[in-house]
Structure 1
């Protein structure tokens, strides 16, 4: 089953049993960045010199990405030529990024939605694992690259770069000390693993995510509940 980068980030972030999003707000920035990264890899957007441009509005065939692509194109058009900034789009997209991504994971049957009332009053939604096969394959792929030194493909390197940018080492490797995995994350994130245009787009997008996530990390608790 092919899933998007946003979905992979979400699978790593959700606790399998409780369905609670670990590092929820910070993960939300990474998920929003995952949408942009996938659209860049698909040749639909370019991020250059701090500017975001939609170069192709042709649908990708993935509803989760195509909905983002349409909204992004309309937003960029309203902003005007050369005025759409990645950080502004991420700030606009982040509030709904997690919600839309977990809904898609539910549609795929990878997680299931459970509704509760906190203190008997406040509605809370959680998303425990329903089918762990995709996440297991994902974690095995990350372990092969980060722990065993395998060469990453472009998508895996992009995912690792997003995790590194948002400092989400623990959601990827909860049992490994950060100091043991961070150097490999940094090596991959800074490597030349994509073509010139795509690599530049991802690096620009990383910079935007990093700037926003740094503030979030400093002010947000490590665990939140999706509501």
Structure 2
């Protein structure tokens, strides 16, 4: 399988040379959302309004997704549905780590361990293969900066970035107004089938809600 939405967001977050994560907490929300949206696109999970449900427990063959699928089934505990925001809050930290490990397994990044002050372990993940990130940035640039028509996965990725306001990670040098306007257009556009478009909209709403609450908490 190609690099997943969650891994793509993680690639945008990781500095390609130092391997350190930027906007780590917010990127974690987007990564968790990316995994969930990928499961929607694979027909394993449904997102309807504020709720999510498991529709098909069959593994996808992609370990990053299948581990989450199994955890999601256990978390639902036999219930038909639970709130999307509850799952994202539960999975945020673990999803980010899982996405980095998946990139390591693909050989896209490598893990380096250091000790700060000789005591505290620090892990960094510099790029070993620059091709996936280069392709990702080229695709995002074509859609957001040049107006190309996105496929549904790219539209979903743009919606996740837009909802979590990670504009600077994707387009550090582009005018913010231009980027935000086009991302809003893509996120709300008619680029996918009705069911997928609805899921993208509802995922975006859930992540936007979380971003607002997180910002309010940080400022209190």
Deviation at 1:219, TM superposition (A): 5.6
Give the Cα separation in 2 of the matches to 1:154 and 1:52.
Answer: 20
- Shift of the 220–189 alpha-carbon distance from structure 1 to 2, 3 Å rule, reads same
> Corresponding residue for 1:72?
72
> Corresponding residue for 1:102?
100
Give the Cα separation in 2 of the matches to 1:116 and 1:158.
Answer: 35
Give the Cα separation in 1 of the matches to 2:205 and 2:44.
Answer: 19
CA deviations 1:102-127 (Å, max 9, x no partner) are 01101111011111112222111111
CA contact (8 A) 2:112 2:125 kept: yes
CA contact (8 A) 2:16 2:126 kept: yes
Which moved further from structure 2: 195-204 or 169-178? 195-204
Report the aligned-residue RMSD.
Answer: 1.5
Size of the alignment, in residue pairs?
219
Give the Cα separation in 1 of the matches to 2:68 and 2:95.
Answer: 9
1:125-204, aligned counterparts within 5 Å? 125-204=123-202
> Corresponding residue for 2:80?
81
> Corresponding residue for 1:225?
none
> Corresponding residue for 1:11?
11
> Corresponding residue for 2:115?
117
CA contact (8 A) 1:146 1:185 kept: yes
Give the Cα separation in 1 of the matches to 2:96 and 2:111.
Answer: 13
State the SS of the aligned residue for 1:176. Answer: coil
CA contact (8 A) 1:26 1:217 kept: no
1:208-227, aligned counterparts within 5 Å? 208-217=206-215
Give the Cα separation in 1 of the matches to 2:129 and 2:216.
Answer: 34
State the SS of the aligned residue for 2:3. Answer: coil
5+ residue gaps, structure 2, are none
> Corresponding residue for 2:30?
30
Report which structure shows greater RCO (CA 8 Å, sep ≥6): 1
Deviation at 1:32, TM superposition (A): 0.2
Give the Cα separation in 2 of the matches to 1:35 and 1:184.
Answer: 23
Which moved further from structure 2: 61-70 or 197-206? 197-206
CA contact (8 A) 1:28 1:98 kept: yes
CA contact (8 A) 1:40 1:202 kept: no
TM-score (norm 2): 0.95
